[in-house]
Amino acid sequence: MQKIDVFDTTLRDGEQSAGINLNTSEKLEIAKQLEKLGVDVMEAGFPASSQGDFEAVKKIAQTVQSSIVTGLARAVKSDIDTSWDALKYGAEPHLHIFLATSPIHMTHKLKKTPDQVVEIAVESVKHAKKHFPLVQWSAEDAFRSDPDFLVRIVEKVIQAGATTINLPDTVGYATPAEYGAMFNYLKNNVKSIDKVKLSAHCHNDLGMAVANSIAAIQNGADQVEATINGIGERAGNAALEELAVALHIRKDVYQYETGIHFQEIKRTSQLVSQLTGMAIQANKAVVGKNAFAHESGIHQDGMLKDRSTYEIITPELIGETSNQLVLGKHSGRHAFKNKAVELGFDLTDEKINDAFKAFKALADKKKQISEDDLYVILTDQQIQEDDTPVYELKSVQVQYGNGSIPTASVSVKNPEGELLQEASTGSGSVEAICNTLERLVKGKVHLLDYRVTSIGKGRDALGEAVVNLTYNGKSSTGRDVAQDVLEASAKAYLNAINRQIVNERNRSFAKSV
């Protein structure tokens, strides 16, 4: 069976999704999990786009060993040089340069002639090759480009030293037959095409990203680009887990395999959803909450008689466990630490102690702690960032009655270390909390979106709140978890504000050095 390489772009194209803003430790956590998942290449970010992205890409390149780490760059020397400074630490430094090739993009966006675009592409690849052994070149909006122009420019960038050629369907417009035909055309018309790896990159605007990627593979693509849970610009990218599982389950038809460790799919999907604050739709293929739920009586009856009646993928394949209850209120630090190690966490003693305190506080309220609860507690410790002073929730109290006006009293410690208290009303408890917090923080806040979900099952499940707001005009998403959804909401609100404060501080630090 031919092996297809998986290029994950969760941390670059995925992170471009509206409302997602991951900090460096969150990106690193996801990168480590992607490595466990077995992706061949991971795109860790766009180093020249911001100081934050630069630092995250550098840290990931320094940490990840068994996947190739790449970063995105425009076809300009300064982007390429900055990317080298971040990516040179990788075991096999890899750069991803893109340049638009469709008439629409060349005319309206780049304002360049096709000849100029060829020249810029060739120069940028030659420059990148001075540093990088591996250079992927992407023809942005390839699908809407003139096929003969693609043949010409691809031939030239291969001669300039590109090692991978990527042909994206940037706007998600292709049908499987058409996208496959483009790969076939390039395979048959670019003389040196067999010297390079050929890659597919599909967006999901018409819901065909996974089907299009598979059509590309059937027509000569050696690599597919995808994101966890299909997150990404607009309607997202091809969902990595769907692609890998589809190729595996239907290997009788496709005859291709990937290096994905299926057992890590569920954990990776949950981690990405938790840290990005992007919920997974319940009926999403492979990783949705209902993907293995059999609801109708006839289906349940069939399943009881023989699982193969209605089950084509087993939950075990993707590492879905029954979320066992693992620890209780009497479990000690030793048992807690062992469980953390068993779940794959490698925390310092100080972090284990803090996580243990959080576990004890939860165990006092909840009889038994499940694996999902532990993942949340331990991941939260793992991603604790530096000690930049930010807002900290000290207490929140809400008075609610269906015949009275909801009132919240909140106290917070501000970044200057002062304890502040306020109270305010709202048309509901959450609004009362938001109104109070708005009075407590310096700056202008505008709430855009708010969501609460439960972690795991049961009436005592942890509540997770995700808050999307603008703070001083900049959009930010915060999240937090608590046993009470009102406390989780207050913390998530402050988390969104704190992320902006840390971003601002990093920005002014970057300017001053």
Binding site for Zn ion (CB under 5 A): 13
Tell me how far, at minimum, the Cβ of 170 lies from ligand KIV, in Å.
Answer: 3
Tell me how far, at minimum, the Cβ of 3 lies from Zn ion, in Å.
Answer: 23
Closest residue to Zn ion, judged by C-beta, is 13
Residue 138, contacted partner among Zn ion, ligand KIV, none, CB below 5-8 A by kind: ligand KIV
Beta strands in 81-149 (DSSP E): 94-100, 134-140
Tell me how far, at minimum, the Cβ of 172 lies from ligand KIV, in Å.
Answer: 9
191 Cβ contact partners less than 8 Å away, ≥ 6 residues apart: 155
The token pair that represents 383 in the structure block: 């991603």
Please identify, using beta-carbon distances, which residue of 27 and 203 lies nearer to ligand KIV: 203
Please identify, using beta-carbon distances, which residue of 164 and 500 lies nearer to ligand KIV: 164
Residue 256, contacted partner among ligand KIV, Zn ion, none, CB below 5-8 A by kind: none
Residue 171 carries which DSSP code? T
Please identify, using beta-carbon distances, which residue of 38 and 236 lies nearer to Zn ion: 236
Beta 197-202 vs 164-169: how paired, if at all? Answer: parallel
Please identify, using beta-carbon distances, which residue of 13 and 438 lies nearer to Zn ion: 13
Please identify, using beta-carbon distances, which residue of 138 and 164 lies nearer to ligand KIV: 138
Tell me how far, at minimum, the Cβ of 153 lies from ligand KIV, in Å.
Answer: 15
Tell me how far, at minimum, the Cβ of 321 lies from ligand KIV, in Å.
Answer: 34
Output the DSSP codes for 280-291.
PPTT-TTTSTTT
Q: 3-state class of 513 per DSSP?
A: coil
Contact 451, 346 (CB under 8 A): no
Contact 503, 24 (CB under 8 A): no
Distance (Å) of CA 126 to CA 65, 87, 121, 131, 137: 27, 17, 9, 10, 11
Greatest CA separation found in the chain?
A: 77
Backbone angles phi, psi at 110, to 5 degrees: -80, -25
Binding site for ligand KIV (CB under 6 A): 13, 72, 98, 138, 140, 166, 168, 170, 201, 203
Q: 3-state class of 173 per DSSP?
A: coil
Tell me how far, at minimum, the Cβ of 168 lies from ligand KIV, in Å.
Answer: 4
Distance (Å) of CA 218 to CA 117, 249, 277: 29, 16, 35
Please identify, using beta-carbon distances, which residue of 203 and 266 lies nearer to ligand KIV: 203
Tell me how far, at minimum, the Cβ of 146 lies from ligand KIV, in Å.
Answer: 17
Tell me how far, at minimum, the Cβ of 87 lies from Zn ion, in Å.
Answer: 19
Please identify, using beta-carbon distances, which residue of 80 and 398 lies nearer to ligand KIV: 80
Please identify, using beta-carbon distances, which residue of 14 and 161 lies nearer to Zn ion: 14
Tell me how far, at minimum, the Cβ of 13 lies from ligand KIV, in Å.
Answer: 5
Contact 407, 422 (CB under 8 A): no
Please identify, using beta-carbon distances, which residue of 150 and 440 lies nearer to Zn ion: 150
Instruction: Point out which residues pair with 239 in neighbouring strands.
Output: 227
Residue 40, contacted partner among ligand KIV, Zn ion, none, CB below 5-8 A by kind: none
Number of C-alpha atoms within 13 angstroms, CB side, residue 82?
22
DSSP H or E run through 74: strand 68-74
Separation between Cα atoms, residue 19 and residue 504, nearest integer Å: 17
Tell me how far, at minimum, the Cβ of 260 lies from ligand KIV, in Å.
Answer: 21
Distance (Å) of CA 254 to CA 38, 180, 263: 20, 14, 21
Contact 49, 17 (CB under 8 A): no
Contact 235, 205 (CB under 8 A): yes
* Identity at 269, one-letter amino acid code: S
| Number of other residues whose CB lies within 10 A of the CB of residue 301 | 12
Please identify, using beta-carbon distances, which residue of 52 and 168 lies nearer to ligand KIV: 168
